[in-house]
Amino acid sequence: MPILVMKFGGTSVATLDRISRAAKRVGREVANGYDVIVIVSAMSGKTNELVGWVDETSPFYDAREYDAVVSSGEQVTAGLMALTLQEMDIPARSWQGWQVPLKTTSAHSAARIEEIPTDNINAKFGEGMKVAVVAGFQGVSPEGRITTLGRGGSDTTAVAFAAAFGADRCDIFTDVDGVYTTDPRICDKARKLEKIAFEEMLELASLGAKVLQTRSVELAMRFGVKLRVLSSFEDNNENAGTLVCAEEDIMESNVVAGVAYSRDEAKMTLISVADRPGIAAAIFVPLSEAGVNVDMIVQNISEEGRTDMTFSCPVDQVARAQKAMQQAKDEGEINFHDLVADTDVAKVSVVGIGMRSHAGVAAKMFDQLSREGINIKVITTSEIKISVLIDRKYLELAVQALHDAFELEKAA
């Protein structure tokens, strides 16, 4: 029997009624001749509640117990989904991560998947079971302890199962009907994409388009898993949602696939640091050790052996960055005249694999921003992405203007 993986996110299993709607969808695929592996999230809000309980009980908690607590939301939905399917006369049973067993590293709360043996579940399919309901987000460490894969990890569970079982497709059911050219909440011309390349989705996901956990996209790309994002609130056919797939499977696409943004950024500049070998390491090693996620980095041309070093990071990490830099200065590792933090900036990026073969994307982006009178503070580029830092108050305007400039409301 061909296998299908269907993953239901928190909002799609938020109530018994929604679990029942999801189960009906699963039932249809069983009727279509599939053996189905269903991956479930916890009911929406549940994981946050569990994390809150852990924090309240033990501020510097034992990560193994954190995982024992926060993984429990998925246990509940897996059992309820299996019961619902049984009530529909569909042979189904639930599996906890450790029962599969989904083997992970021992990095509690951020474990990585090492192996998913298929024999247990395949044996049950062989005996006539039609649906294996698997608790997402969780696994088991070599020490036999329950692990979790990081927030949003059920997406990664789903893709990993699709890869391990050679599933025809991995459908991710969520509360939006696909991946959009940009955030529809700030740009009403945003258009749902029929298809998007793995590389583009990776950039969009890491820029905060929260539809899929970034790691799940990485995995899907590595193993060539056909990944589809679709709404569990609409009745949809074969072609609903957005297919995340290999570049070769997309015939025509716009040069730019989407405009992404990250609202809460900060720009920090170390004024007048000595321009000598090792200075970048002396700055960025302490920042990384302090847990600061540095994104853009610009080093200015130096004058008389001194230079300015600018970097961006999430705005809530500014205090941490300041502390790390002051400490490095006090210890004599670096010397700077001043550290200036601009906490009112946002990042806007255009993403598209078409940039590899088309010139002029950056020019068009900068031109459009200048027409709107938006000043660019920092620019970085990669093969398929151009990002700028601008004043946060212009974020919406910039996103809308770029969406217009690249005519993203029109399909290729």
Binding interface with ligand ASP (CB under 6 A): 10, 41-42, 47, 73, 136-137, 151-155
Q: How far is the CB of 71 from ligand ASP (least distance, A)?
A: 9
By CB under 5 A, tell whether 97 contacts Mg ion. Answer: no
Work out what residue 42 binds among Mg ion, ligand ASP, none; the CB cut-off runs from 5 to 8 Å by kind.
ligand ASP
Work out what residue 352 binds among ligand ASP, Mg ion, none; the CB cut-off runs from 5 to 8 Å by kind.
none
Reading the block at residue 249, the tokens are: 């499977």
**Nearer to ligand ASP by C-beta: 73 or 258?**
73
**Nearer to Mg ion by C-beta: 152 or 178?**
152
**Nearer to ligand ASP by C-beta: 49 or 87?**
49
Three-class SS string for the chain? CCEEEEEECHHHHCCHHHHHHHHHHHHHHHHCCCEEEEEECCCCCHHHHHHHHHHHHCCCCCHHHHHHHHCHHHHHHHHHHHHHHHHCCCCEEEECHHHCCCEECCCCCCCCEEECCCHHHHHHHHCCCCEEEEECCEEECCCCCEEECCCCCHHHHHHHHHHHHCCCEEEEEECCCCCECCCCCCCCCCCECCEEEHHHHHHHHHCCCCCCCHHHHHHHHHHCCCEEEEECCCCCCCCCCEEEECHHHCCCCCCCCEEEEEEEEEEEEEEEEECCCCHHHHHHHHHHHCCCCCCCEEECCCECCEEEEEEEEEHHHHHHHHHHHHHHHHCCCCCCCEEEEEEEEEEEEEECHHHHCCCCHHHHHHHHHHHCCCCCCEEEEECCEEEEEEEHHHHHHHHHHHHHHCCCCCCC
**Nearer to Mg ion by C-beta: 152 or 241?**
152
∠ CA(257), CA(261), CA(264), 5° rounding?
170
Q: How far is the CB of 150 from ligand ASP (least distance, A)?
A: 8
Scan for tokens 């579940």, then name that residue: 121
Work out what residue 109 binds among ligand ASP, Mg ion, none; the CB cut-off runs from 5 to 8 Å by kind.
none
Q: How far is the CB of 162 from ligand ASP (least distance, A)?
A: 15
Choose the stretch contacting Mg ion; rule: CB under 5 A; options: 8-16, 50-58, 322-330, 387-395. 8-16
Residue 151, classified by CB atoms within 10 Å of its CB into exposed (0-12), middle (13-18) or buried (19+), is middle
Q: How far is the CB of 268 from ligand ASP (least distance, A)?
A: 30
How many residues of this chain interact with Mg ion, rule: CB under 5 A?
2
Q: How far is the CB of 136 from ligand ASP (least distance, A)?
A: 6
**Nearer to ligand ASP by C-beta: 15 or 382?**
15
Work out what residue 153 binds among Mg ion, ligand ASP, none; the CB cut-off runs from 5 to 8 Å by kind.
ligand ASP
Please state at what angle helix 46-57 crosses helix 63-70, rounded to 10 degrees.
150
Contacting Mg ion within 199-238 (CB under 5 A)? none
**Nearer to ligand ASP by C-beta: 146 or 378?**
146
Q: How far is the CB of 41 from ligand ASP (least distance, A)?
A: 3
Reading the block at residue 275, the tokens are: 């321009």
Work out what residue 136 binds among ligand ASP, Mg ion, none; the CB cut-off runs from 5 to 8 Å by kind.
ligand ASP
Q: How far is the CB of 152 from ligand ASP (least distance, A)?
A: 5
Work out what residue 317 binds among ligand ASP, Mg ion, none; the CB cut-off runs from 5 to 8 Å by kind.
none
**Nearer to ligand ASP by C-beta: 41 or 272?**
41
Q: How far is the CB of 283 from Mg ion (least distance, A)?
A: 35
**Nearer to ligand ASP by C-beta: 148 or 269?**
148
Residue 150, classified by CB atoms within 10 Å of its CB into exposed (0-12), middle (13-18) or buried (19+), is middle
∠ CA(243), CA(213), CA(396), 5° rounding?
80
Reading the block at residue 161, the tokens are: 């199962």
- Which string of x and - marks every residue 137-156 that binds Mg ion (by CB under 5 A)? ---------------x----
**Nearer to ligand ASP by C-beta: 47 or 84?**
47
Work out what residue 97 binds among ligand ASP, Mg ion, none; the CB cut-off runs from 5 to 8 Å by kind.
none
**Nearer to ligand ASP by C-beta: 154 or 349?**
154
Q: How far is the CB of 408 from ligand ASP (least distance, A)?
A: 28
Q: How far is the CB of 211 from Mg ion (least distance, A)?
A: 8
Q: In the complex, which residues of this chain contact Mg ion (CB under 5 A)?
A: 9, 152
